[in-house]
Amino acid sequence: MRNNEIVRLGAILFAITFAVALMLALGNLLTEDRINELNIKTQNEARQEVLPSATEFEEIKVKGLGEGDYKTVQNVYVGKNDGNAVGYCVGVAPSGFGGPIEMVVGIDSEGKVTGVTIVNSSETPGLGSKAAEPKFKGQYKGKSTDSPLKVIKSGTPADNEIVAISGATITSNAVTQGVNSAVKVIKEKINQ
């Protein structure tokens, strides 16, 4: 009788697990297209935010993205206005404190950073999450790409310096590393 009870409980557990897995699969199937649409919309809005002078964006296929020095670079778009290139938008995902920080970096034709926007992040609320706030990400706008940017803890930043978020140096360094990676891919892969 004990074996029958074990088999019965095992069958019940299997049935419950199977039903839950089936519901999750069905939920994924029903929402997958909508989630993809929202992700595309979010990425398009991010590109428009960091390169506002562009009216259209075209993806550039770049060999070597996701590898070696370009391991955090996800994609590169050229921004155009009336058919003329006005700059580039680079999707990067450097590792922050809470995981990858998905962001888009805008760089104009003159080599200046036009903006940074955080698309997705798991950084600590109230600390690393401040990277998405205008006070922090606004520091990158207008920065020259002549030399790599670096993070300082406090004070008045020089042209190639960014003041860290207090208590979130890892996040500050990650965002800055993402911007430097975007600049590097434009300089070395696009503007050769």
What's the pLDDT at 1? 57
What's the pLDDT at 184? 93
What's the pLDDT at 57? 94
The model's pTM: 0.81
What's the pLDDT at 112? 94
Residues of the chain with pLDDT under 70: 1, 192
Local structure of residue 100 (DSSP, 8 states): B
What's the pLDDT at 17? 95
Q: Give the Cα separation of 5 and 112 in Å (integer).
A: 71
The radius of gyration of the chain from alpha carbons, rounded to an integer in Å, stands at 22
**Rounded to an integer, what is the distance from CA 70 to the centroid of its chain?**
14
Local structure of residue 123 (DSSP, 8 states): P
| Phi, psi angle pair for 155, to nearest 5° | 100, -170
pLDDT tens sequence across 53-87:
999 999 999 888 888 878 899 999 999 999 999 99
**Rounded to an integer, what is the distance from CA 41 to the centroid of its chain?**
14
Beta bridge partners of residue 163, listed in sequence order: 152
